[in-house]
Amino acid sequence: MTTCRQKVDLEIRELLIDKAKNYLSVIAATSHLVQVNGNTEMLSKIISYVEHINNIVDKCLSLLDEM
């Protein structure tokens, strides 16, 4: 049997992962367009955004683990 706290943690994790997936999908589509146009400077910025989002997700999940 799961506690209310466990249910909330699970819901937060699922929302966080879903939101990150949405952002990454938009970034992937944008990066494809940028790559087609040959704008390597913009592509490197997009890659740094992806890394930043991954870091935020990792930190949030770590904080949830500590709670």
Q: Average per-residue pLDDT in the chain?
A: 81
Percentage of the chain with pLDDT > 70? Answer: 99
Does position 37 have pLDDT exceeding 70, yes or no?
A: yes
Does position 1 have pLDDT exceeding 70, yes or no?
A: no
Does position 52 have pLDDT exceeding 70, yes or no?
A: yes
Helix, strand, coil % over all residues of the chain, rounded to 5:
90, 0, 10
Does position 18 have pLDDT exceeding 80, yes or no?
A: yes
What's the whole-number mean pLDDT along residues 14-18? 85
Contact in structure between 34 and 43 (CB atoms under 8 Å): yes
**pLDDT value for 45:** 81
d(CA 11, CA 58): 16
* 2 phi-psi bin (left φ>0, alpha ψ -120 to 50, beta other): beta
